[in-house]
Amino acid sequence: MGHAGSKEALKQQDEKLFALRHSAAHVMAQAVKRLYPQVKLAIGPPIEDGFYYDLDLPMKLTEEDLPKVEAEMAKIIHEHHPFQQSFMTKSEALTRFAQQGERFKVELIEGIADTQVSLYTDGEFVDLCEGPHVASTGEVTAFKLLALAGAYWRGDEHNPQLQRIYGTAYFHAKDLEAHLQRLEEAKRRDHRKLGRELGLFSFEELAGPGVVFYHPKGARVRWIIEDYIRSVHLARGYQPVGTPHIFRTDIWRRSGHLEYYQDYMFLFEAEKLPYGIKPMNCPGHILIFASGLHSYRELPIRLFELGTVYRNEKSGVLHGLLRVRGFTQDDAHIFLREDQLVEEINEILDFAFEVLRAFGFAEYEVELSTRPEKFIGTPSSWEHAQDALRRALEAKQIPYVVREGEGAFYGPKIDLKINDALGRSWQCGTIQCDFALPERFDLTYVGQDGKPHRVVMLHRALLGSFERFFGMLLEHYAGALPMWLSPVQAVVIPLTDQQGAYAQPLAARLREAGLRVDVDTRNEKMQAKIRDAQLAKIPYMLVVGAREATQQTVAVRHRRDGDVGAMSINQAIDRLSKEAAIGGTT
C-alpha cells in the first residue's frame, strides 16, 4: 500500500507541476504580447522539465531579449490575475480569432471536432486552451527563460518558421536552482564540446551535415567498443554477416520501407535503375536467410552485423552524435519458430543487460510499444507478437510501461532506456517481433513433417546507434571514459630528456601487457604535462625522473585520485591491467 500511495502522490505532484508550467507558458505569451503587440501566437504546451511557446514575430528575438520578457512576466505575476475558463461556440471562436489575425489559432479551432471550444483568461490575455492551470498568475514565482530556437508550424518544413522560447518553472526557488545547476552540468558534459576538446570526432562543412569524422582517438574508442561487441556476440552463437550499402528499390518496396519510410531514404538512379541507400539492415539479412533451405533443427539462426545505415534526417533536427544521417548499429536478426519466441526474447534481454552493465549502466526503464496506425501484416499476427513480448517481460518479472501505437510499422517492440549520471533517460536497445516481413519475403523452414513452415523474425540491437551511444557515454562520464574504453590509458612523462632512454622501453613493456600508452616527449615542464594529461582525461600519468630510472620504478598519478605513490614496473602493470578489465568503471 505504501508503494502504491507514493506512486499516486508522485502522479499528483507531476499533474500540479504540469499545470504550473502550462500557466507559465501563458504568462510568457502574455508578456511577449505586451512587449510586441504584433505577435501572432501558435502553441505553448508544458513539456518535460519546462514549457515553450511558438511565436510569429516580425523581428528576430535574441538571448538578450529574454531578460526583458522575464521582467514583464514578473509584472504579470505580481498582478495576481486569476486563470478563468470560459467556453465559446466554435463559430464564435473562429470569428474572434480571425478578427485578431491569429491565423494559427484559427487553424487549430478548425481542427476541433466539438461544437464549442475552451478558452482561458488571465487579465487582458485570452488564449485557446483546455487547461489545466493554477489558480492565478501569482503562483508562477520560480521560473526562468532558457533558450530560443526555430520551429516550423506543426513540425512541417513547408509551413512558416516560428520562434520558440523555452523556459522552466517550479513551485520552489530551490528546485529551480537545482534544475539550473543540472543544466549547467549538462552543458559541461555536452558531448559536442568534449569531442572537440578531446580530439575525438568532428563534423566537416565541406562533407555536409550529419556525417561524422572520427579522429584517431575517437576511432580507437569505436574499435574498442566494436571488438567487445563482436566477441560477446560470437560467444552467444551469433553468426557474422555483411551486407551492401545500396539496394535496388524493389527490395524496399517489398519490405514496405518505400511506402512507410521513403521520406527518410536517400534514393538515386544508376543505369536507369532506381536504388536506395539502406536506412536499415533487415532486408539484407532477410536475403541471406532466404538464400538457402533451413531445417527446424537449425533454428534459431542469429545473424549479426555492425551495419552502417543512412537516413535522410532534416538538417534542423541533427544534433551532434545524437542525431546524424549516417550511423552504425549492432544489428541482429533472428529467424526462429514461434514456439521459441519467449525463450529467445528472454535470452536477448539477459544479453542486453549484460552488455549495458559492462558500460557501467545498472538503471534502466523498459517500454512495450504496440501497433501504430500505419502497419503491415494482420491485426492477429500483431496480437501474437505483442503477446510474446509481454509474456517474456512478465516471465522475467521486468516492470514495463506500454506505449500505445508506437511500434515499428512491421512489428511491436520492447525498448530499453538507460539512466545516465544526471538521471536522464536514453533510448538504447530494442527488440522487435515481426510476423509481417517473413510473410512478405516468404521465409520458411522445413518442419519435422518435411513441409515448409513460416519463420518468425526478431529485429534487435543492444546499443542501437554507435554514434548516439558514444555521445551518451561521453556525457555520462563527462569525457573521463572508464579505463577499458579510454583511447589512451596511461602517459609516460619523463622529467627531462635524459629519462627518455628509460621512458620509451617502459612504454613498450606496458604496451606488451596490452595497455594503450603514449610518451610525452615535449619540451615542457612536468606540471604542464600533467595538466594537459588531466585535461585529456587520461586515467594514469607515469612520471619518471632520475631516481625512477635508477630504481626501475615509476611515480604513479591517477586523474581523479592524484599521486598514488611509487611502484615497480610490474606493480604498475598489474594495477593498470586490473583496472583496464572490461566492465571496470574507474
The DSSP result for 424-441, as a single string, is: -EEEEEEEEEESHHHHHT
Q: Which domains does the chain have, with CATH numbers?
A: 2-182 (3.30.980.10), 195-244+278-476 (3.30.930.10), 483-579 (3.40.50.800)
DSSP run (H or E) holding 473: helix 466-476
pLDDT score recorded for residue 3 = 36
- d(Cα 127, Cα 97) in Å, to the nearest integer? 10
- In the numeric block, the cell 511557446 is attached to 53
- Length of the chain in terms of residues written: 586
The answer to whether the CB of 569 falls within 8 A of the CB of 521 is no
Has residue 2 got a pLDDT over 60?
no
Q: In whole angstroms, what separates CA 222 from the centre of its chain?
A: 17
Question: For 224-245, how does the pLDDT look when each residue is reduced to its tens digit (9 = 90+)?
Answer: 999 999 999 999 999 999 999 9
| β-pair type (413-419, 425-434) | antiparallel
- d(Cα 429, Cα 547) in Å, to the nearest integer? 51
Closest CA to 46 of 108, 114, 134: 134
The answer to whether the CB of 31 falls within 8 A of the CB of 148 is no
pLDDT score recorded for residue 168 = 96
The answer to whether the CB of 309 falls within 8 A of the CB of 279 is yes
pLDDT score recorded for residue 291 = 95
What are the φ/ψ torsions at residue 161 (nearest 5 degrees)? -90, 130
- d(Cα 566, Cα 423) in Å, to the nearest integer? 38
Has residue 385 got a pLDDT over 50?
yes
Has residue 116 got a pLDDT over 80?
yes
DSSP state of 298: G
- d(Cα 239, Cα 230) in Å, to the nearest integer? 10
Has residue 7 got a pLDDT over 60?
no
Has residue 410 got a pLDDT over 90?
no
When pLDDT is cut at 50, 70 and 90, the band that residue 551 belongs to is very high
When pLDDT is cut at 50, 70 and 90, the band that residue 253 belongs to is very high
- Backbone Cα Rg of the chain: 29
Strand 517-519: give its sheet, edge to edge: 517-519, 490-494, 540-544, 553-558, 562-568
When pLDDT is cut at 50, 70 and 90, the band that residue 575 belongs to is very high
Q: Grid coordinates in use for 539?
A: 586515467
pLDDT score recorded for residue 316 = 77
Query: What Cα–Cα distance (Å) separates residue 560 from each residue in 12, 103, 426, 481, 553?
Result: 42, 57, 26, 12, 21
Three-state secondary structure call for residue 477: coil
Sign (positive or negative) of CA dihedral 499, 501, 507, 509? negative
pLDDT score recorded for residue 13 = 59
Report the C-alpha dihedral over residues 216, 222, 224, 229, rounded to 10 degrees: -160
Look up the pTM and report it. 0.85
pLDDT score recorded for residue 61 = 93
Average pLDDT over residues 89-114: 92
Average pLDDT over residues 54-66: 93
Percent of all residues in the chain with a pLDDT value above 70, rounded to a whole number: 98
Has residue 8 got a pLDDT over 60?
no
Sign (positive or negative) of CA dihedral 273, 276, 278, 280? negative
Query: What Cα–Cα distance (Å) separates residue 200 from each residue in 12, 151, 292, 464, 479?
Result: 44, 31, 43, 20, 10
pLDDT score recorded for residue 529 = 93
- In the numeric block, the cell 551495419 is attached to 307
The overall average pLDDT reported for the chain is: 92
pLDDT score recorded for residue 471 = 95
pLDDT score recorded for residue 12 = 54
| β-pair type (364-369, 401-403) | parallel
Question: For 148-187, how does the pLDDT look when each residue is reduced to its tens digit (9 = 90+)?
Answer: 998 889 888 788 999 999 999 999 999 999 999 999 999 9
Query: What Cα–Cα distance (Å) separates residue 268 from each residue in 15, 233, 247, 278, 479?
Result: 49, 34, 10, 12, 39
Q: Annotated active-site positions, please? A: 282, 311, 329, 331, 333, 413, 459
Has residue 376 got a pLDDT over 90?
no
Closest CA to 389 of 348, 439, 425: 348
Question: For 316-367, how does the pLDDT look when each residue is reduced to its tens digit (9 = 90+)?
Answer: 788 999 999 999 999 999 999 999 999 999 999 999 999 999 999 988 899 9
Helix axis angle, 379-395 to 341-358, nearest 10°: 50
DSSP state of 448: T
Helix axis angle, 216-235 to 466-476, nearest 10°: 110
When pLDDT is cut at 50, 70 and 90, the band that residue 140 belongs to is very high
Has residue 259 got a pLDDT over 60?
yes
Q: Is 290 exposed, middle or buried (0-12, 13-18, 19+ CB in 10 A)?
A: middle
